[in-house]
């Protein structure tokens, strides 16, 4: 199963790269598939590539749902099945 997650862009680098953050974890990703990404934007991240921009409110709702699933243990049970 593949999972794409919303992450916040905290730094735009050179050569189509950016630093994104999720729950305090930062990672360098590729912006090669997107144009006009700015610091503060939310993007959908999959295997190191930002696939699309996401509305900030939608990103926050999605992240809240992931957090709720994680707290309930549902995410771990699904991944183990």
Q: State the Cα–Cα distance between residues 70 and 37, nearest whole angstrom.
A: 29
Q: Mean pLDDT of residues grouped by 10 in the chain (81 residues)?
A: 87 94 95 95 96 94 89 63 46
Q: Which domain holds residue 46?
A: 5-80
Residues 6+ apart with CB under 8 A from 7: 20, 21, 22, 27, 29, 42, 43, 45
CATH number where 27 lies: 2.30.30.140
pLDDT in tens, 47-61: 999 999 999 999 999
Counted domains in the chain: 1
Specify the residue for token string 């790269």. 17
Q: Report the mean per-residue pLDDT for the chain.
A: 89
pLDDT in tens, 60-69: 999 999 888 8
On whether the CB atoms of residues 28 and 36 are closer than 8 A, the answer is no
């Amino acid at each position: 199963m593949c999972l794409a997650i919303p992450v916040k862009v905290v730094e735009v680098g050179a050569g189509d790269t950016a630093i994104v953050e999720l729950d305090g974890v930062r990672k360098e990703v590729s912006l090669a598939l997107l144009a006009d990404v700015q610091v503060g934007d939310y993007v959908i991240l999959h295997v190191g590539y930002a696939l699309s921009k996401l509305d900030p409110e939608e990103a926050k709702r999605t992240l809240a749902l992931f957090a709720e699933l994680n707290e309930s243990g549902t995410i771990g049970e699904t991944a183990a099945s």
